[in-house]
Chains A and B, each alone.
Chain A
Amino acid sequence: MITLSNIHKSFGRNHVLKGIDLTIRDGEAFVIIGASGSGKTTLLRAINFLERADQGEISIGGVSVSAKRATKKQVLDIRRRTAMVFQNYNLFRNRTAIRNVAEGLVIVQKVGEKEALERAAELMAQVGLSDKLDAYPSQLSGGQQQRVAIARALALRPEVILFDEPTSALDPELVGEVLGVMREVARMGITMILVTHEMSFARDIASQIVFIDDGVIVEQGAPIEIFRDAKEERTRQFLRRIMPEFTYHI
């Protein structure tokens, strides 16, 4: 289980997160939606300390740390319980695809080279890239890179995978293959927290959806509650703006 309590974060005078409380149960596909600048990416990055929140508590799998006072060691501990998939893939440019997947196993988890490469090859097969093991990131399409990035996250067997708008940088025709892999991840019962603008995908795979606006949680619920029966006017407005066709289809 992952709990965030009272997370605050400011960039200078810009108060981005204004006291966020969330509980994510194991195996959940937890989707965060909201307009650009609403704070959803910052919230995701606060979980693994890529941004250090100014206030609040983060707890993952029984380990609880204060966002503000977490030591180097605690930060490392939290990061080793999580993995992240980035908008821009961020594959290590100096390593081949399979080495990207194996890197965390060898360097962080101290798995032997041979075993790590075997596991990495299995994961590469799982994301449908068995023929690209030795390709460098620069030789792969965006969709392929993102699938390698998902394999890299899976390799660590983290308690949760954080997805930060994983399809936003992709050409439209490449979105499908990445969503396909993510659907697979959700089906495997791996806890995921996903920030996305892909509303229909969110509706399909999410167990919970939370709508964030201006640094606060406006509404939270199962997909059907949010997409069909949103209680808050702000939520309905956002959904109408982002998927106008939706209002006609139901």
Chain B
Amino acid sequence: MYRIDYGFLLREVWVAFTMLPFTLMLAAVPTLFGLAVGALLAIVRIQRVPVLRSVVQGYVVLIRGMPTVLMLLIVYFAFVFGFDALMEKLGWSARSANIPPTLFAMGVLAFIATAFMTESIRTALLSVPKGQTEAAQSIGMTNFDIYRRVVIPQALPVAIPILGNAFIGQAKGTALVTMIGVTDLVTRVRIEANASYRYLEAYIAVALVYWALCVGIEQGVRLLNKSVRVRAGGV
């Protein structure tokens, strides 16, 4: 019968834990990028900017309908081959191999995060009843003020739980970067398991750390939500 080596498990929890800041960065940077760009893209869709809105819609549908792992691999290989071919043609010396995998992974994750954030923000903005906008228009507010004073404050309490979920998804998605050669907590722990064949313990350790990370994010979102709700006043 298989006996779990708790000592090893604990040690690996610690190893995985020391990699947490890196994972948090892999999750947070793309999410923040996605928030900023996603907000713009959501407004492009809501304001029905011609042509651009169709491009955005296509992008969102494409990304949301594809597993992150495939996205990561496809973009990785397409980029590696395409980039090198292009550089060769131009006669430049830059090669994809010289791009740090971490940077590359963050780029792809940001590309994915933006699609999810666009949809989340759009949903939240659309949850504000039309009458609220009309009232603001009727007193002669500019579009900018309507968003700033009426729509965004009311959309925030709706947005935060949705964005929180998206952020958790994003955090869990980082476990895949090991596939394109980034050394994250999964890679680190697996390296150690290679020596002892204690894969089960190793992966349980990683799972525990991810679980703690997600619970932490969830609590943070809950606190944030509470304070926003208070300031939004009874909405």
Question: What is A's interface to B at a CB cutoff of 8 Å?
Answer: 48-50, 76, 79-80, 82-84, 86, 88, 90-96, 103-104, 107-108, 136-139, 152-153, 156, 162
- B contact residues around A82 at 8 Å (CB): 138
* Contact string against A for B residues 202-235, beta-carbon threshold 8 Å, 1 for contact and 0 otherwise: 0000000000000000000000000000001111
CA distance A136 to B229 in the complex (A): 13
Q: Is the beta-carbon distance between B138 and A79 smaller than 8 angstroms?
A: yes
CA distance A48 to B140 in the complex (A): 9
Q: Is the beta-carbon distance between A103 and B138 smaller than 8 angstroms?
A: no
Confirm or deny: B141 has a beta carbon within 8 angstroms of a beta carbon on chain A.
yes
Q: Is the beta-carbon distance between B235 and A91 smaller than 8 angstroms?
A: no
Q: Is the beta-carbon distance between A92 and B234 smaller than 8 angstroms?
A: no
Q: Is the beta-carbon distance between B233 and A96 smaller than 8 angstroms?
A: yes
- B contact residues around A94 at 8 Å (CB): 150, 153-154, 232-233, 235
Confirm or deny: B66 has a beta carbon within 8 angstroms of a beta carbon on chain A.
no
- A contact residues around B137 at 8 Å (CB): 48-50, 79
- B contact residues around A48 at 8 Å (CB): 137-138
Task: List 7 A-B pairs, minimum CB-CB distance, nearest first.
Answer: A80-B140, A90-B135, A84-B138, A104-B139, A90-B131, A136-B234, A79-B140
Q: A76-B142, A83-B138 are in contact. List 10 more A-B contacts (CB 8 A).
A: A49-B137, A76-B140, A80-B140, A94-B150, A94-B235, A103-B149, A104-B139, A104-B141, A136-B233, A138-B235
CA distance A88 to B140 in the complex (A): 19
Q: Is the beta-carbon distance between B136 and A92 smaller than 8 angstroms?
A: yes
Main secondary structure of the interface of B (DSSP, over half): helix
CA distance A92 to B131 in the complex (A): 9
- A contact residues around B232 at 8 Å (CB): 94
> Quick one: which of A49, A80, A90 has the most chain B CB within 10 A?
A90
* Contact string against A for B residues 121-136, beta-carbon threshold 8 Å, 1 for contact and 0 otherwise: 0000000000110111
Confirm or deny: B145 has a beta carbon within 8 angstroms of a beta carbon on chain A.
yes
Q: Is the beta-carbon distance between B234 and A50 smaller than 8 angstroms?
A: no
CA distance A152 to B233 in the complex (A): 19
Q: Is the beta-carbon distance between B234 and A138 smaller than 8 angstroms?
A: yes
14 CB < 8 A contacts A-B: A50-B137, A50-B138, A82-B138, A83-B139, A84-B135, A86-B134, A86-B135, A107-B141, A107-B149, A136-B233, A138-B234, A138-B235, A139-B234, A156-B139
CA distance A153 to B135 in the complex (A): 10
Closest chain A CB from B50 CB (angstroms) = 16
- B contact residues around A104 at 8 Å (CB): 139-141
Q: Is the beta-carbon distance between B142 and A92 smaller than 8 angstroms?
A: no
CA distance A120 to B177 in the complex (A): 57
- A contact residues around B154 at 8 Å (CB): 93-94
Closest chain B CB from A110 CB (angstroms) = 11
- B contact residues around A152 at 8 Å (CB): 139
Q: Is the beta-carbon distance between A92 and B141 smaller than 8 angstroms?
A: no
Q: Which of B102-157 contact A (CB under 8 A)?
A: 131-132, 134-142, 145, 149-150, 153-154
